[in-house]
């Protein structure tokens, strides 16, 4: 402990930068954090744009050189919200410099990078330095509660899982070629960007590991207008076309450590589906279902209920006794997309204060990366099953 507030440097300032800023701003106001935090500096390459971001989101300073910022003695936490191609370099440098690190998902663009990051995190943990991957949806209260109910045996022995993340922002062939569509920046497409969430969520809620995968990835629109201004998700097109080098759709099957099967679907071509992450876990005692487009709700099917009245019951996850909820509004009042980013801050700062490793750590980020690589291998080889054992990918 330094005896002063934990000072945060955020590297990157795109869409995720704004979401993380909301988390850093709101968490200390709404929760009783064990340590005070200060939004010290936001870093980006364009001096004017990053200064504007600092003003808008409430960072005390802005800077253009992340290496200089990481070297500063007055920075305790480095929050990485850049595209995946710089995660490994920044995270390893920050951990080696003794900073706690929060890194956006997916952890890296390749298994090799993720392994090096997990090694750096393990070395740093031995010195009391903490690291965490931003799989923020774990911190939607209904998802955390779903995990708790499964751990308490609500669904019994898990027979199968269905996990889908469906968006439609690429259905328009004129959507420009942002960084999320370029392998050298993003690593992969729908697979890494949103498939990573459902792989992590499946492992999180079931407490089981994906041990093998079989699947296909496909690119539906192979060329798109070059990006003019703005970011990948909201940008405008420039003259000329470029090649899309990542997948648009990934459909795959996973096998869990108990042998249970998972049907995974990650796509940016599900027309009409805006941000539809859904998971359903089916067991011999019951089933639980969550859908991000209705994120305050959990559906529970209890097989022990009388047959006449059996059915999926709606649980509104807005009670003070539900995870994270009591810090916000009186019971019954809704939370949204941004609240998970505050909950992530709460859990990271609590772990730092208590001297424990936050979850998910880089080792868990690496396990997701291996699953993603396994799906790509299965698709490229046409192999029925690719095992996700350490060292196999």
Chain residues binding ligand SOE by CB under 6 A are 15, 167, 193-194, 275
Q: Are 300 and 149 in contact (CB under 8 A)?
A: yes
Residue 193 Cβ, how far from ligand SOE at the closest point, in Å? Answer: 5
DSSP state of 295: T
The nearer residue to ligand SOE, 35 or 168, going by C-beta atoms, is 168
Q: Are 187 and 318 in contact (CB under 8 A)?
A: no
The nearer residue to ligand SOE, 83 or 286, going by C-beta atoms, is 83
Q: Are 192 and 109 in contact (CB under 8 A)?
A: yes
The nearer residue to ligand SOE, 181 or 315, going by C-beta atoms, is 181
The nearer residue to ligand SOE, 69 or 277, going by C-beta atoms, is 277
State phi, psi for 42 to the nearest 5 degrees.
-115, 140
Q: Cα separation of 101 and 9, whole Å?
A: 10
The nearer residue to ligand SOE, 118 or 198, going by C-beta atoms, is 198
* H or E segment to which residue 178 belongs: none
The nearer residue to ligand SOE, 176 or 286, going by C-beta atoms, is 176
Residue 17 Cβ, how far from ligand SOE at the closest point, in Å? Answer: 12
Strands 158-166 and 276-283: antiparallel
For residue 20, the Cα-to-chain-centroid distance in whole angstroms is 12
DSSP state of 195: I
Q: Are 143 and 343 in contact (CB under 8 A)?
A: no
Q: Are 7 and 75 in contact (CB under 8 A)?
A: yes
End-to-end CA distance of the chain, in Å? 39
Residue 248 Cβ, how far from ligand SOE at the closest point, in Å? Answer: 12
Residue 344 Cβ, how far from ligand SOE at the closest point, in Å? Answer: 12
Q: Is the dihedral of CA 9, 38, 16, 323 positive or negative?
A: positive
The nearer residue to ligand SOE, 189 or 374, going by C-beta atoms, is 189
Residue 33 Cβ, how far from ligand SOE at the closest point, in Å? Answer: 24
The nearer residue to ligand SOE, 7 or 224, going by C-beta atoms, is 224
Q: Which two tokens stand for residue 139?
A: 């911190």
Q: Cα separation of 89 and 77, whole Å?
A: 16
- Radius of gyration of the chain, Cα coordinates, nearest whole angstrom: 21
Q: Cα separation of 52 and 73, whole Å?
A: 25
Residue 186 Cβ, how far from ligand SOE at the closest point, in Å? Answer: 9
Residue 255 Cβ, how far from ligand SOE at the closest point, in Å? Answer: 25
Residue nearest to ligand SOE (CB): 193
Q: Cα separation of 370 and 390, whole Å?
A: 8
Residue 296 Cβ, how far from ligand SOE at the closest point, in Å? Answer: 17
Q: Which two tokens stand for residue 244?
A: 């899309």
Residue 236 Cβ, how far from ligand SOE at the closest point, in Å? Answer: 18
Residue 129 Cβ, how far from ligand SOE at the closest point, in Å? Answer: 25
Q: Which two tokens stand for residue 242?
A: 């470029």
Q: Which two tokens stand for residue 184?
A: 């050298």
- Cis ω before 89 (30° cut-off from 0): no
């Amino acid at each position: 402990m330094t005896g002063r507030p934990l000072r945060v440097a955020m590297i990157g300032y795109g869409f995720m930068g704004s979401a993380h800023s909301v988390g850093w701003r709101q968490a200390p106001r709404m929760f009783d954090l064990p340590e005070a935090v200060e939004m010290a500096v936001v870093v980006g390459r364009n001096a004017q744009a990053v200064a504007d971001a600092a003003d808008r989101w409430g960072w005390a300073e802005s800077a253009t050189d992340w290496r200089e910022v990481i070297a500063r003695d007055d920075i305790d936490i480095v929050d990485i919200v850049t595209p995946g191609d710089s995660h490994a370099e920044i995270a390893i440098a920050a951990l080696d410099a003794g900073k706690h690190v929060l890194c956006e998902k997916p952890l890296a663009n390749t298994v090799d990078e993720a392994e090096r990051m997990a090694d750096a995190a393990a070395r740093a943990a031995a010195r009391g330095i903490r690291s965490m991957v931003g799989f923020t949806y774990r911190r939607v209260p209904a998802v955390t509660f779903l995990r708790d109910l499964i751990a308490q045996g609500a669904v019994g022995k898990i027979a199968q899982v269905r996990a889908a993340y469906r968006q439609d922002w690429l259905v328009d062939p004129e959507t420009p070629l942002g960084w999320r569509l370029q392998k050298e920046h993003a690593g992969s497409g729908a697979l890494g960007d949103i498939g990573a969430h459902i792989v992590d969520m499946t492992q999180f809620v079931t407490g089981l590991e994906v041990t093998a995968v079989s699947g296909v990835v496909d690119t539906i629109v192979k060329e798109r207008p070059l990006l003019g201004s703005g970011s990948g998700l909201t940008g405008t097109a420039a003259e000329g076309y470029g090649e899309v080098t990542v997948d648009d759709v990934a459909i795959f099957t996973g096998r869990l450590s108990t042998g249970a099967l998972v049907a995974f679907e990650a796509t940016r071509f599900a027309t009409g589906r805006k941000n539809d992450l859904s998971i359903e876990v089916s067991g011999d005692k019951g089933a639980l279902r969550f859908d991000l487009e209705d994120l305050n709700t959990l559906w529970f099917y209890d097989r022990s209920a009388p047959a006449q009245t059996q059915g999926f019951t709606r649980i509104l996850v807005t009670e003070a006794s539900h995870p994270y909820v009591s810090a916000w509004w009186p019971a019954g009042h809704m939370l949204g997309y941004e609240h998970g980013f505050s909950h992530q801050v709460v859990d990271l700062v609590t772990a730092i204060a208590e001297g424990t490793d936050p979850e998910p750590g880089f080792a868990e980020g690496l396990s997701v990366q291996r699953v993603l690589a396994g799906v790509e291998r299965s698709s490229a080889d046409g192999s029925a099953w690719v095992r996700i054992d350490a060292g196999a990918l």
